[in-house]
Amino acid sequence: MRGLPRPPQRGQAREWLGQGASIGAQHPPAAAAFRPLIELQHLERNPQALLDGRRPPNPVRFQYTLLRGRLRVARAWQRHRPTASATTAVLPAPRPAGADHGPHAPQGLLPPAPHPGGAVPPTLSGRQLPQHVAIIMDGNGRWAEAQGQLRSAGHHAGQHALRDVIYGAPEIGLPCLSVYAFSTENRARPAAEVETVLHVVSNGLDMNTEELWQRDVQLRWSGSSNDGRLPADLVDRIRRAARATRERTGLILNVCLNYGGRHELTHAARALARQAAHGGLDPDRITPRHLARHLYQPDLPDVDLLIRTSGEQRTSNFRPWQSTYAEYLFLDPLWPDIDRTHLWAAISTYATRDRRFGTTK
């Protein structure tokens, strides 16, 4: 049937089916898709339990459940591309560091714009490269104040720095970059500043004027989408940009907007509680994998390297779950003074770190 999982997903599907009650804790679209199949299994094995013992199972009922299930499966797999499980996510192997990306850019897309000063990335092997770098882009306000300008000028300058860093990511072979653009706590700033920050983000998403959209970048969004704190047109714009770029493979750019780590964990806890309340999940069988599947963008790998600019040494509610074993790097420059060479230097430092994950050699 069109829309059913492709062959590599079928083995996983069978495994999920075998897990019975815990199916509700799988990645949401997959759970939606497979729940009717489990109903069918129950119908076959234990019809009385499913039908409350009142109605005997009959072929019409069976066919109805089958048809409804097929429709749901087809719809779910059409809407959501299959992804790896949250804890085993592995992104495509990064391209060789320092490679000329011209020929690699898919048709119709441009390679990253070269560094204005002609800088080229260091050559690192695939094993030395992180899969996922997350950046707390801090210091816009102080940068503007130091120049005798309004804070809003700092946010605009920060957007230019971000663009350069985005170009530098695929150049060195980094497959995934998360950037902290606006936190749930930032909502408490003066309304005019909040408006400026959101305006800057919105401009960056403008596919007609923003040259970034001509590059091989896949946009993702992590953050609260249903708390009414973002303008509806911005939410719409982010979703459209994510849809428009979802087939791109050069770089996954995960924009953390209206994002708070505690909100993210609360959101996941709510989803699990809902499943437990409906009997689809045994609370005693909840594992970290179950929770991870309800975080924002659950198919992205954990953060390997977390960078914060502006000299502050704190995480300010950023990606607490995904950064449990991240390497941290705190840089002194303010965000608008950053460019791709800082990203490359940070990745080179990361390559020298000895990651042990709690074990011994």
**Is 320:184 a contact under the CB 8 Å cutoff?**
no
The reply to whether 137 sits near ligand IPE by the rule CB under 6 A is yes
The reply to whether 186 sits near Mg ion by the rule CB under 5 A is no
Residue (1 or 191) nearer to ligand IPE, CB: 191
Taking the complex as a whole, how short is the minimal distance between the CB of residue 132 and ligand IPE, in angstroms?
A: 18
By CB atoms closer than 10 A (0-12, 13-18, 19+), residue 60 is: exposed
Give which of Mg ion, ligand IPE, none residue 152 binds (C-beta under 5 to 8 Å, depending on kind): none
**Is 252:84 a contact under the CB 8 Å cutoff?**
no
Number of other CB atoms surrounding residue 102 within 10 Å: 9
Among positions 176-215, residues that touch ligand IPE (CB under 6 A) are: 180-183, 185-186, 197
Taking the complex as a whole, how short is the minimal distance between the CB of residue 259 and ligand IPE, in angstroms?
A: 8
The reply to whether 142 sits near ligand IPE by the rule CB under 6 A is yes
The residue whose two tokens read 């009650």 is: 21
- For residue 135, list its beta bridge partners: 179, 307
Chain center to CA of 247: 15
The active-site residue, picked from 46, 140, 164, 186, is 186
- Evaluate the CA torsion angle 154, 160, 164, 170 in order and state its sign: positive
**Is 170:92 a contact under the CB 8 Å cutoff?**
no
Q: Site for ligand IPE (CB under 6 A): which residue of 178, 310, 322, 323?
A: 310
Determine the size of the site formed for Mg ion (CB under 5 A).
1
Listed residue (145, 97, 138, 88) closest to 120, CA to CA: 97
Q: Site for ligand IPE (CB under 6 A): which residue of 19, 83, 316, 348?
A: 316
Listed residue (298, 250, 359) closest to 81, CA to CA: 298
- Contact pattern for ligand IPE over residues 212 through 251, marking x by CB under 6 A: ----------------------------------------
**164 noted as active-site residue:** no
**138 noted as active-site residue:** yes
Taking the complex as a whole, how short is the minimal distance between the CB of residue 201 and Mg ion, in angstroms?
A: 16
Binding site for ligand IPE (CB under 6 A): 136-142, 180-183, 185-186, 197, 310, 312, 314, 316
Catalytic machinery residues: 138, 186
